[in-house]
Structure 1
Amino acid sequence: MSRLNLNAWEHNWDEIGRGVQQWILLVALEAALHEEWPKLPLQEIGKLTGEAKTIVPPEGRTKALTSSFDAEVRPLIDLVDKLRGYGLDTDINLPAVAVIGDQSAGKSSVLEAISGVQLPRGTGIVTRCPLEMRLKHSEDEDKWEGKILYKDKHDMRQEEVILNRESVGDLVRKAQKEMTDSAKGISDELITLEVTSSDVPDLTVIDLPGIARNAVEGQPFDIEARIKNMIRRYIGRQETIILAVLQCNVDIATCEALKMAKEFDDEGGRTLGVLTKPDLLDKGAETGVMRILNNMEFTLSKGYIIVKCRGQEAISEGQSLKHALDVEEDFFKSHRHFSSLRPSQWGIPNLSARLSRELKKHIKKLLPELKEEVRRKLLETERKLHDLGEDPPETASEKRQMALQMVTEFISVTTSLTNGQRCNDNKFPQKINNLFSDARRSFADLNKCAEREQPDTTNRTLKTELQQMMEASRGREFCNFLGKYELVESYARQYISKMEEPALQCFDDVHRKTTEILKILAEKCFEKFPDFAERAKEVIMKTRKQTQNECKDEILRYFRMENLVYSQDNTYGVEFRAEEEKKRKEEEEENERKQKSAAKYHVQIGSQNDEDVNGVGKALMSLKTYYQIAARRLCDVIPMLIQLHVFREQVEEMQIQLMDIASDERTMVHIQEDTDMAYVRRECKSRLERLLRAEEELDKI
């Protein structure tokens, strides 16, 4: 009767009835514990109350948090711990239990009670980095081992063995200080705390900083946003179980932790609520808490558990964590309202057991997806490493060989493209295959320009101008001798000279586009070594300038040669007669058209053929004939000159200079992989290593 709530007799008969039921149950349990305990396993005793795995014998109460679950728990949790230890959580979302709560909601107290170690306490933000607590149960009652691992703000890995549980809090504070820029700052980097003991469960949880409302002196002004972003990164993953720690003595509707949990887990399917500080409840507020615990207010599929952890006063008085569990049990069993709860709804031991079960179930459920994701990431990483190519050379001879190989590839691709062949290597963009076709379009544009500039023999202005020039230069000769060669030659020079600028423009277009393609090729062929790529580009620009000067000089020299106005008699004669025949046919067709038109209207017209008495018509025909011969010659020769200098001689000169550079000892300093690419390669190799290790571990399950 000493364990019965005697105050119950002061209330109505319903309360008295519940008290009698409790008394009968306790008497039965006392008998079972004292008389039948040696004969019955813990699970069988649990069946007496309908709550398996929750009742613990008095002599075993200090071990209330030991793992009493099936043999699958530890291997599964160890598996995830190993994967996270490999750094796999940077590639894949791993199953986890994330502990969130408003500032001073009691997260650290809950974790202290579960882990048996005292964590940093105080006002404001105490947890300033994600703290991963790996708890491992040991059958050895005297065993206690601890270790803390983290990376400081200089990215240096730190690892320290913890000699006793009392020093854990100080070491966590030290780690937080070394990981952040100030005494009040926060960090996204993870601190890992490993504890192996006989009085801890098999469990891994991640404690996240409490949600702060306002920044205090020394903290970033956006401290609340930064903490919330950190929490979102964890609880936003579907693989994370959310342990939302809420104070009983505040309106949970205003709790930011519950709001955030609802934001990412609207149906509460992966959120477990933990109510703390029940001893601070105002009288009469218990009914509201009971409604929450019975999932009648803010529904969570996993429900709620209420716990009572030791407060600051108890710590100051030296109350041990083990004693705190006894105090908690007495509190709930003797409480006027909470004593009616099912045993699984209250207490740190039940919370610990529930978390282990939930984590085990969660990991088992996600294992097939996890294996598939690891294999997918593995293939993706292998492809990326393949695309990065071979590792950069280390020795001088290896560097020289690599440089020569790269130059050979560059020249080979360039030669193919300038010969009009395609390159089908996927590492090069498709636009490089447009090199020769773009050049041919420029050559075709030159030909079109030549057609536009040819003399128009039907143009009256040209005819009149030529007539006046011929008459002005007339001497004693008869009128039918006015067609002087000098005049035709002068006009021919004028028309041919109009093509000089288009020819130079054609060269500039081809040269500019070729240089662009050569630079792309250099970047791709030498992309592993940016310094060497820059040297190659320097060679391209140097040979470009040299080619530009030589080719332009050749083009200008060609136009000086065209000033001679010359054509073989055979060539000119055939062309002239063809032009005459063409003109005759045009005149006949025109006369025939006019005759038909006159006949339709019964009009008589005579012959429309004008006699070319002064030879102006023949002079125009001679001018057009020669221009066509010269333009045709020009539209063949200029593209050939451009191809000779740009596609042939420049490529040959580049090959000579690049081979010299590749063979030069001083060049070896440029055979260094780009910093960013080297980083990507290291990251890929590191990812590949951890994925392979993860695959190996997963295959064991």
Structure 2
Amino acid sequence: MAAALTDLIPVVNKLQDIVSTTNLTDLDLPLLTTVGSQSAGKSSVLENIVGKDFLPRGTGIVTRRPLILQLINVKPGDALVTKTTGFETDLGLQPGEKTLEDHLREAHGATPSQDNGFGLEWGEFLHMPGKRYYSFDNIRKEIENETARIAGKNKGISRIPINLKVYSPNVLNLTLVDLPGLTKIPIADQPTDIERQIKNLILEYISKPNCIILAISPANVDLVNSESLKLARQVDPQGKRTIGILSKLDLMDHGTNALDILTGKVYPLKLGFIGVVNRSQQDISTNKPLDESLRSEEEFFQNHPAYKTIASKCGTSYLAKTLNQILMNHIRERLPDIKAKLNTLMGQTEQELATYGDSNIVSKEDRGSIILTLMNKFASSFINSIEGNSSDISTKELCGGARIYYIYNDVLSQSLRSINPVSNLTVQDIRTAVRNSTGPRPSLFVPELAFDMLVKPQIKLLEGPSHRCVELVYEELMKICHNCGSHELSRYPKLQTKLVEVVSELLRERLGPTTKYVESLIEIHRAYINTNHPNFIGAAAAMTLVVEEKKKQQNLLDKPHSLKTQISSTELKKSKSTNGENGHAHRSTESTSTLDEVNKLERSKSSIVTANGSAHGEKDTFLNFFFGKDDKPSKPLKQEQPKPFSYPKESEVLQFNVPGQQNN
């Protein structure tokens, strides 16, 4: 049973490596986390537990990244001691050839049979697997370099941890986390919000229910001012998972002691307080061995008049044993919850893995089939987006095939209707083209050659809207391409990026040929003008419309004269056959109303004459030039003499009824 409990911490350490490597934050593992202000002695406590001087020291913030320290107890006969590391295996060592460790042992006067403790203590970093650091000075340098690599060379901090494993026969299995010390005022090149950053980083660790808090407070400072206990109380108000550690007991004022605190009378904690004595700065400067420092600490508690009664429950040795026992018990209590959480995460991971395809895929052919399947799904999604069968249909805007239909049916149609068919075409241009196409002979009808010459440039106006239509459709297809992707394809971001890139390049290549094809369609209509089309009016139909229009105008001109003659004859007859005063008044009223109607018709006649330009020297219209005009509309039966040809003024311009434009 004891052996089974001892194996719990190494198992949790392996899980911790997985969590650190995969950045799996959902799994809350039991940890011992140190919390304290700057210069409270956190680093000294950890070094006393390890028995080696390996942590960086200096002024200001030294610990700027969380250090996850895993202590692993090894015996001289363990396989880890003689195991060849991966780095040495890469060197291609032959059987019987000495390893790097053998050379190091011999250099320090040790032999494989007589180890003298050398080679049993080393450190390994998770970011440099397989490389062993037998010199703890090199471990300190690597911590400094790795801190500077991530957090920079200034005094900023980073939440990315450093994982360090220390193998030694002199340590107990523990997992500790060293966090930056609490500070109040930023100094030198520290960030202005350094206090908030450090506090948030510490709370990120100690807020987890499986974390055991090591609240380190210096004994030479009043306990009510302890920042570590204040912060621990925020997340653990009942003190169930907080261990109080009093450091620097030898620096208290003479005549004072911390016996009441250590016995739990001042600030009760379920896990209690433990007192330790750290090395002084002079001991660190003179490189006093830690073994001697631990012996001096033990002598201090045994000889101190106040602490000798509790000397067995003070010191670094007791602290290490207590932490080991607390951590094992804590792991045993939390093991069912950890196992259930692991099973849940494993089930979710297996389901996610199943979406990648068959897990037994080993050959390149099978990988190719998966890629082909993903490409087919991409193509199906692209087609569904155009046909409107996609499951992700937007309700906010038009997209896919609906957007393309809108471009063709609305945008292009509106652009074509807005084109003025006689843009930059004047009456002078028409007359000049007609005269040039007739040669030396006058022409009764408009020559077909002149019609082609005038119409072809106008057909060219269709190219602008057509090009814009092609560009809009291309942009919509590119948008579909970037938004098109299945859930399985999104799990392969590089494949998805490459697939979108290839399809985009294909669309970009087809943009030019499509534009040229549209231009060729317009050129076809310019090359052959289909006058047999039902929508084409033709010369006969145009003449019929003109004749009907002239008849309507002539009827309006003749109506007032006929009405006037009829009224005169009617009045003459009624004046002879009718007598009486009343009758005379009645006839006068009727004649007056009838004359009013005649006057109105005469006024409309004058307006028609003015509109036709046949009176008062008005301008000649295009149709009057070709089909003649009436100088005196009041005498329609009189034969008009033909007038000689004369060119119009330069200001004369054709006027057509164009949809969307107001007639001038």
What is the CA deviation profile of residues 218-263 of structure 1, one whole-angstrom value per residue up to 9, with x for unaligned ones? x975597687676455334443211122211123455554454456
- Structure 1: gaps spanning 5 or more residues: 1-68, 456-464, 474-481, 581-602, 617-625, 629-701
What is the CA deviation profile of residues 274-314 of structure 1, one whole-angstrom value per residue up to 9, with x for unaligned ones? 1122222113443xx35544656666554422234566669
CA distance in 2, matches of 1:317, 1:498: 95
CA contact (8 A) 1:114 1:352 kept: yes
The structure showing larger relative contact order (alpha-carbon pairs under 8 Å, at least 6 residues apart) is: 1
1:507 counterpart = 2:508? no
CA distance in 1, matches of 2:210, 2:469: 63
Alignment of 1:596-615 (within 5 A): none
Cα 1:448–1:280 shift into 2, 3 Å: closer
Kindly provide the amino acid, as one letter, of the partner of residue 250 in structure 2: D
Shift of 1:96: 0.1
1:542 counterpart = 2:479? no
CA contact (8 A) 1:442 1:506 kept: yes
Kindly provide the amino acid, as one letter, of the partner of residue 494 in structure 2: K
Aligned pair partner of 1:243 in 214, 222, 226:
214
Shift of 1:542: 1.7
Shift of 1:138: 7.8
CA distance in 2, matches of 1:531, 1:281: 68
* SS in structure 2 at match of 1:190: strand
Aligned pair partner of 2:124 in 143, 147, 150:
150
* SS in structure 2 at match of 1:156: coil
CA distance in 2, matches of 1:604, 1:432: 60
Kindly provide the amino acid, as one letter, of the partner of residue 9 in structure 2: I
CA contact (8 A) 2:124 2:133 kept: no
What is the CA deviation profile of residues 75-124 of structure 1, one whole-angstrom value per residue up to 9, with x for unaligned ones? 33233122123345731332100123344433344445545x23348962
Kindly provide the amino acid, as one letter, of the partner of residue 251 in structure 1: D
CA distance in 1, matches of 2:132, 2:249: 37
* SS in structure 2 at match of 1:150: strand
Cα 1:442–1:567 shift into 2, 3 Å: farther
Corresponding residue for residue 276 of structure 2: 307
Aligned pair partner of 2:34 in 69, 74, 99:
99
TM-score (norm 1): 0.52
* SS in structure 2 at match of 1:437: helix
CA contact (8 A) 1:148 1:159 kept: no
What is the CA deviation profile of residues 556-605 of structure 1, one whole-angstrom value per residue up to 9, with x for unaligned ones? 433654xx3534669989xx9xxx9xxxxxxxxxxxxxxxxxxxxxx999
1:367 counterpart = 2:329? no
Aligned pair partner of 1:86 in 2, 12, 18:
18
TM-score (norm 2): 0.54
Kindly provide the amino acid, as one letter, of the partner of residue 515 in structure 2: Q
Shift of 1:507: 3.4
Cα 1:389–1:281 shift into 2, 3 Å: same
CA distance in 2, matches of 1:404, 1:355: 57
CA distance in 1, matches of 2:48, 2:74: 15
* SS in structure 1 at match of 2:253: coil
CA distance in 2, matches of 1:319, 1:401: 65
CA contact (8 A) 2:277 2:315 kept: yes
Corresponding residue for residue 494 of structure 2: 528
Query: Could you say which structure has the higher helix fraction?
Result: 1
Corresponding residue for residue 16 of structure 1: none
1:438 counterpart = 2:403? yes
CA distance in 1, matches of 2:147, 2:236: 31
Alignment of 1:89-238 (within 5 A): 90-92=23-25, 93-111=28-46, 113-115=48-50, 117-120=51-54, 124=58, 130=67, 132-136=69-73, 146-151=120-125, 155-160=127-132, 169-170=136-137, 172-173=139-140, 175-176=142-143, 179-181=146-148, 188-196=161-169, 201-208=172-179, 221=190, 231-238=202-209
Alignment of 1:174-573 (within 5 A): 175-176=142-143, 179-181=146-148, 188-196=161-169, 201-208=172-179, 221=190, 231-262=202-233, 264-265=235-236, 268-286=239-257, 289-290=258-259, 292-293=261-262, 300=269, 302-308=271-277, 316=288, 320=292, 323-324=295-296, 326-331=298-303, 334-335=305-306, 338=307, 346-348=314-316, 350-382=318-350, 421-422=387-388, 424=390, 434-444=399-409, 445-447=411-413, 501-518=464-481, 528-529=494-495, 530=497, 534-558=501-525, 561=528, 564=529, 566-567=531-532
CA contact (8 A) 2:124 2:131 kept: yes
What is the CA deviation profile of residues 459-492 of structure 1, one whole-angstrom value per residue up to 9, with x for unaligned ones? xxxxxx9xxx9xx99xxxxxxxx99999999999
CA distance in 1, matches of 2:56, 2:658: 98
* SS in structure 1 at match of 2:521: helix
Cα 1:521–1:556 shift into 2, 3 Å: farther
What is the CA deviation profile of residues 538-563 of structure 1, one whole-angstrom value per residue up to 9, with x for unaligned ones? 333122212211223213433654xx
Cα 1:137–1:446 shift into 2, 3 Å: closer
CA distance in 2, matches of 1:483, 1:372: 98
CA contact (8 A) 1:100 1:231 kept: yes
Kindly provide the amino acid, as one letter, of the partner of residue 408 in structure 2: F
Cα 1:73–1:301 shift into 2, 3 Å: same
Shift of 1:400: 7.7
Corresponding residue for residue 676 of structure 1: none
Cα 1:171–1:263 shift into 2, 3 Å: farther
Cα 1:414–1:96 shift into 2, 3 Å: closer
Shift of 1:389: 6.8
CA distance in 2, matches of 1:447, 1:313: 91
What is the CA deviation profile of residues 138-168 of structure 1, one whole-angstrom value per residue up to 9, with x for unaligned ones? 899x99884544338xx43244386xxxx7x
* SS in structure 1 at match of 2:40: coil
What is the CA deviation profile of residues 519-556 of structure 1, one whole-angstrom value per residue up to 9, with x for unaligned ones? 65599799534567545533331222122112232134
CA contact (8 A) 1:147 1:160 kept: no
CA contact (8 A) 1:103 1:124 kept: no
What is the CA deviation profile of residues 345-382 of structure 1, one whole-angstrom value per residue up to 9, with x for unaligned ones? 64445534542343234334433443344344445545
Count of matched residue positions in the alignment of Structure 1 and Structure 2: 495
CA distance in 1, matches of 2:293, 2:236: 33
The two structures, once aligned, show a CA RMSD in angstroms of 6.3
Cα 1:220–1:258 shift into 2, 3 Å: farther
Q: Tell me the percent identity.
A: 23
Shift of 1:441: 1.1
CA distance in 2, matches of 1:531, 1:383: 26
* SS in structure 2 at match of 1:86: helix
CA distance in 2, matches of 1:546, 1:192: 65
CA contact (8 A) 2:68 2:175 kept: no
Kindly provide the amino acid, as one letter, of the partner of residue 33 in structure 2: A
Corresponding residue for residue 96 of structure 2: none
